[in-house]
Amino acid sequence: MSASGSLPVVDLAPFFTEADGGGVARATEAVREACQTHGFFRAVNHGVSAELMARALELSAAFFALPDEEKAKARPAEGSEAPLPAGYARQPAHSADKNEYVLLFDPKLGFNEYPAEPAGFSEALEECYAKLTELGLLIQDILNECMGLPPGFLRDYNGDRSFDFMAALRYFPATEEESNGISAHEDGNCITFVIQDGVGGLEVLKDGDWVPAEPVHGSIIVNIADVIQVLSNNKLKSATHRVVRKPVHRHSFAFFFNIHGDKWIEPLPEFTAKIGEAPRYRGFVYSEYQQLRMRNKTHPPARPEDVVHITHYAI
């Protein structure tokens, strides 16, 4: 593990070569250390081509430059039952965050319809979605090893991919009055991947300081989220992060490797009873936590301390 832009860097190349067993062990240890110290790392040689990521970002920028009535054609297919509203949207008017986005669910499930322009936009989104799903399965297996769980435990526990989703985002330029792109928060899912253009603005809170996750060509930012923090009983870290807007538009993709809403989430025995430690969280149904977080967005509380975080379930 080395440093670039102040975030740990993990080279995943050993997982794509059959003969490098020592490299796999070193990369796994690098992921473990990064998840314990930062909750974030920069992945390189991750199996998603730099050309695909650059093309997807370019087409995304072209899409967001379209008139609003054209962008609105990106919507759920007829009869769709996506867990969240798929398609094009802007942040609610009451939100402090200033951006617009397209939410994409598994293309095979028919959740999405697209405008005709820009040509190739839907194909690039779907190709990115497929590759990031593969990367999610790999990182989940690496975390399984990092957490000392039985082989295949997390894959069996989290085998339903229908709750994963990807967002193509455009952040509006900063103004003298406002520079907030996405407010400081932690992710509520399992694993998040971020592909970003060269503008920058993503920052991670580490020991009280905001560490920039600077854009590096061909790399993907990876962070673990609340579900992994709870399962590991706080041994792995769901880090606070934010996006600070720049003087120009910023484009990115965020892929949320998620968990089924009906799943029961609680600290695993490997991090509690088996090592003589008390659980730091009470158990909960995942969908209930998501509903509480969604309520933060639809009905923002007047006091910041009333916003629901994973600490809502802390013991």
Find the helix packing angle between 121-146 and 50-64, rounded to 10°.
Answer: 130
Q: How confident is the model at residue 81 (pLDDT cuts 50, 70, 90)?
A: low
Average of per-residue pLDDT across 107-111 = 60
Q: How far is CA 260 from CA 207, 237, 288, in A?
A: 32, 21, 11
Separation between Cα atoms, residue 234 and residue 73, nearest integer Å: 42
Specify if 280 maps to a domain.
Answer: no
What residues does 79 pair with on adjacent strands?
A: none
Q: Per-residue pLDDT for 84 more than 70?
A: no
Separation between Cα atoms, residue 161 and residue 260, nearest integer Å: 8
Q: What is the mean pLDDT of the chain?
A: 89
pLDDT at 131: 97
Sheet holding 202-206, edge to edge: 180-185, 241-244, 202-206, 209-212
Exposure of 155 in the CB half-sphere (CA atoms within 13 A): 13
pLDDT at 2: 39
Pair of tokens at residue 133: 């799903």
* Contact partners, residue 34, CB within 8 Å, separation at least 6: 1, 8, 10, 40, 41
Specify if 113 maps to a domain.
Answer: yes
| Structural domain boundaries enclosing 81 | 2-264
Q: Per-residue pLDDT for 235 more than 70?
A: yes
pLDDT at 20: 64
Q: Spell 49-78 as b/e; 16+ CB within 10 A means b.
A: eeeebebbbbbbbebbebeeeebeebbbee
Average of per-residue pLDDT across 56-75 = 92
Specify if 297 maps to a domain.
Answer: no
Q: Per-residue pLDDT for 110 more than 60?
A: no
Separation between Cα atoms, residue 259 and residue 263, nearest integer Å: 7
Higher pLDDT, 282 or 2: 282
Average of per-residue pLDDT across 205-226 = 95
Specify if 274 maps to a domain.
Answer: no
Separation between Cα atoms, residue 261 and residue 288, nearest integer Å: 8
pLDDT at 209: 93
Query: Over pLDDT 90: what percentage of the chain?
Result: 68
Q: How confident is the model at residue 1 (pLDDT cuts 50, 70, 90)?
A: very low
Q: Per-residue pLDDT for 219 more than 90?
A: yes
Specify if 80 maps to a domain.
Answer: yes
pLDDT at 86: 79
Q: Per-residue pLDDT for 296 more than 90?
A: no
Specify if 73 maps to a domain.
Answer: yes
What does the H/E/C string look like for 21-80? HHHHHHHHHHHHHHHHHCCEEEEECCCCCHHHHHHHHHHHHHHHCCCHHHHCCCECCCCC
> Which of 122, 123, 121, 126 lies closest to 107, judged by CA?
126
pLDDT at 48: 97
Specify if 304 maps to a domain.
Answer: no
pLDDT at 106: 75
Q: Per-residue pLDDT for 140 more than 70?
A: yes
Specify if 25 maps to a domain.
Answer: yes
Counting the structural domains of the chain, the total is 1
Q: Per-residue pLDDT for 4 more than 50?
A: no
Q: How confident is the model at residue 193 (pLDDT cuts 50, 70, 90)?
A: very high
Q: Per-residue pLDDT for 176 more than 80?
A: no
DSSP category for residue 132: H
CATH code for the domain in which residue 199 is found: 2.60.120.330
